[in-house]
Amino acid sequence: MARKSVIQREKKRQKLEQKYHLIRRSSKKEISKVPSLSDKWEIHGKLESLPRNSAPIRLHRRCFSTGRPRANYRDFGLSGHILREMVHACFLPGATRSSWADSGNRTRVFSLAKRNFTIRLYPHFHCT
């Protein structure tokens, strides 16, 4: 489990990024449209005056349940070991252990901790 202060810091960065997102995006578009170099430097100065934590590059996805910053799967918002535990406990409907027979067109295969399992896009709601 990540420290609470680290999780709160990440939430603060997300709020700042959402707050300044439109300003940052419009400034970047202006820079590409303005022909003179002095105007570009002016707009660039506005970008530099924004808080550093409002930049999207400063954000880091974290596991929804543990706050772990590594091995996150975007589709679920969970880290690898939590996702694997949930699959084995049948908390994710449609998730089964992967095999060669499961190589259909409508599947998405994830490999976790040297054990494969398959997430079907059209789940059949049973756990094997």
**Domain residue spans in the chain?**
1-60, 77-128
| 6-15, 17-26, 74-83, 90-99: least confident range | 90-99
- Mean pLDDT score, 3-23: 91
In this prediction, residue 29 has a pLDDT band, given cuts at 50, 70 and 90, of very high
> pLDDT averaged over the chain?
80
Distance CA 73, CA 83 (A): 8
Residue 64: alpha-carbon gap to chain centroid: 10
Lookup: tokens for 55: 């930049």
Give the tens place of pLDDT for each residue, 41-57.
999 999 999 999 999 99
DSSP 32: H
Cα–Cα nearest to 63, from 47, 83, 43, 88: 83
Q: Is the pTM of this model over 0.85?
A: no
